[in-house]
A and B are shown apart, each in its own frame.
Chain A
Amino acid sequence: MADQLLQQIVNSLLIGSVYALVAIGLTLIWGVMNVLNFAHGDFLMVGMFIAFWCYTLFKMDPIFSIPVCAAVLFLLGLGIYRFIISKVMKGPGLAQLVVTFGISIFLANLAVMLWTPDFRLIEKPLLSGTWSLGSVQLSIPKFAASVGSVVVSAGVLLFLKKTRTGKAILAVEMNRDAALLMGINTERINSLSFGLGSALVGIAGAFLSMYYYIHPQVGGLFGLISFCIVALGGFGSIEGAFIAGILIGLVQTLGGYFFDPAYKYALVFLVYLITVWIRPQGLMG
């Protein structure tokens, strides 16, 4: 019993840290320009497919295609911001919510058209197999994805806190008008954060592609969960998103284990509703 519980906790940390990375990308965009990107999960799907095709066409392992995923998603995010998001920013709030649904439907179905709705898997990634640590089984690709996610998340935090550009992003998050008065080019910061947030989810996609099934609809669930994580963590808070990501991983895995696996995602949403009831601003907001 204790062994199994320990195993479940390890599993939740492994998935929770990847959730955190996905959510940090989302919260960066949300925090800077107050846009909730419903296509975020589909960006993840695109990242996974890029890793898959790099592997299938060029025999490039997901570990090495991480920079490719990051770069492509950065450009995708930049393009989507420039040609779509920036155009609705001045319009009513509802349009800003709805437009990203359009992007989501577009991307998911473009993937269906290009690559069929089939499930795919990277069959022999460089990192595979499991380590046995006492009674706990540690899947190597999951462990690598988890460590990688923590490192990237820490890197983002360091970038935001230590570099000039990072500080400018945080300044815009705090107060857009004041940042503008201080001479920060807020338009540039917007597109940069959208690109950066998308690149982060692209990296998460490369990590996940090492062990997760890849198909056009894979983003839907990850997207929904990352909204809950971001709102749970608090508006635009990177640290909050990280903590909430781990927390949601715990809820999902332990809830599925103790209660009913069919309800594990329902529990995630329930925890979200209860938390915002008590603390509407989220944990760290």
Chain B
Amino acid sequence: MTGVPTFTKRQVSISAAVLVLLALYPLAVRGSFPMHLMIMVFMFAMLGVAWNIMGGYAGMFSFGQAAFFGIGAYTSSFLLTAYHVNPWIGLLAGGVVAALAAALIGIPCSNLRGHYFAIASIAFAEIVRIHFNNWKLIGAAEGLTIPMQDESLRSFMFHSSKAPYYYIMLGFLILSLGVCSWVATSRMGFYLRAIKESHDVAKVLGIDVVRYRMAAIMISAFLTAMAGTFYAQYILYLDPESVLILPISVQIVLVAMLGGAGSVMGPVIGAAILLPISEVTRVKLGFKGSGLDMIIYGTLIMLISVYQPQGVWGLLQKIGRKNK
């Protein structure tokens, strides 16, 4: 069975070793860029894992994840600036709001497949972006600035070091991996894969297609919104053009595809490969505004689609099997 995690002793020991290395990473590096880079890797890995639940397993290729990401970021930030609500509570509230928005969009999309679903997800995200750009209550196009607070875990804000953000995001990533592998191995995971293979056959077999698709979208939206709140607390400023835009949605899909859509660990591998390339080219080449960094990024997307469309995870598994 592809995608279902079956843990061997070897896998457990490899995972433990990787975790120890990741935990020690902040102690080993100097400067803020290596920390920022890893935080972005974890965040996009989490976003890719969340996408995978609906895209990889259920075959709903969402190109509108930025909407959920932005809703999460905006919900917690708005609650914090307007009502002084603790961002951790805002995090949960953002997840709930995003899941409700997902249900709202899930209804008209419940019968859409393939390209139609992809376009609908973009249309939805664009509506959210346009609306947030004009919504005075949440700062419209000017956005929101997170008020400064003393650094503490409770206030979800740290000034002296990026390390706490690093560990929080790593925790979030592990949590979403847990959710994803639970979905993958549960009854729901099998139903979702059946729906992906054939909508009609799944229906005939008695699977409540709409209900399971809806559940997948809502779980995915909740996790994506959590990452959104994290991002707002990390950057401390947000506006519609920094969290609600199509390029974010595309990057999420790309992370999942490059790693391997429909496998639990795939998006982690995808983020670990893609983010360093895109962040480094952006820092090294992007400042001139010449577009060169984005030309490289576009070329990379084309190369991945042509040469590695099945994802790196599949490739690694193949190599692993040969070595056994």
A-side interface residues toward B, CB under 8 Å? Answer: 30, 34, 36, 84, 87-88, 91-99, 101-113, 117, 216, 220, 224, 227-228, 231, 260, 262-263, 265-266, 269-270, 272-274, 276-277, 280
Contact = CB atoms under 8 A, between A and B. Distances in A.
A227 B122 contact: yes
Binding site secondary structure of chain B = helix
B118 A97 contact: yes
Taking each of B63, B127, B302, which has the highest tally of chain A beta carbons within 10 Å of its own beta carbon? B302
B305 interface: yes
Taking each of B116, B133, B299, which has the highest tally of chain A beta carbons within 10 Å of its own beta carbon? B116
Contact of A277 (B107, B122, B297, B304): B107
Interface in B53-76: 55, 61, 63
A185 B163 CA distance: 60
Given A94-B61, A112-B291, A269 B257 contact: no
Interface residues of B, number: 48
A168 to B, nearest CB: 23
B120 A84 contact: no
Contacts of B109: 273, 276-277
Given A91-B309, A95-B257, A102-B298, A113 B122 contact: no
Contact of A36 (B118, B130, B253): B118
B301 interface: yes
Interface in B203-255: 246-247, 250, 253-254
Contacts of A117: 289
Contacts of B261: 92, 94
B257 A98 contact: yes
B123 interface: yes
Taking each of A30, A93, A98, A273, which has the highest tally of chain B beta carbons within 10 Å of its own beta carbon? A98
4 smallest CB-CB distances across A and B, nearest first, come from A102-B301, A106-B298, A95-B309, A277-B108
Contacts of B247: 105
Nearest to A269: B123
B130 A263 contact: yes
Contact of B123 (A96, A107, A108, A273): A273
B305 A99 contact: yes
Contact of A265 (B118, B126, B295): B126
Nearest to A99: B305
Nearest to B118: A97
B130 A265 contact: yes
Binding site secondary structure of chain A = helix
B137 interface: no
Interface in B252-303: 253-254, 257, 261, 289-292, 294-295, 297-302
Contact of A228 (B123, B250, B290): B123
Contacts of B298: 102-107, 109
A270 B109 CA distance: 12
Contact of A91 (B118, B127, B305): B305
B131 interface: yes
Contacts of B292: 109, 113
B130 A262 contact: yes
B101 to A, nearest CB: 13
A88 B305 contact: yes
B310 interface: yes
Contact of A94 (B111, B116, B257, B297): B257
A246 B35 CA distance: 51
A98 B305 contact: yes
B291 A113 contact: yes
Nearest to A266: B130
Interface string B87-121: 00000000000000000010111011011101110
Contacts of B291: 108-113, 216
B1 interface: no
A113 B290 contact: yes
6 contacts: A99-B306, A106-B302, A228-B123, A272-B123, A276-B120, A277-B109
Contacts of A273: 105, 108-109, 120, 123-124, 127
A121 B133 CA distance: 27
Nearest to B310: A92
A272 B253 contact: no
Contact of B309 (A92, A107, A277): A92
A216 B291 CA distance: 11
Contacts of B257: 94-95, 98
A103 B108 contact: no
Nearest to B114: A93
B134 interface: yes
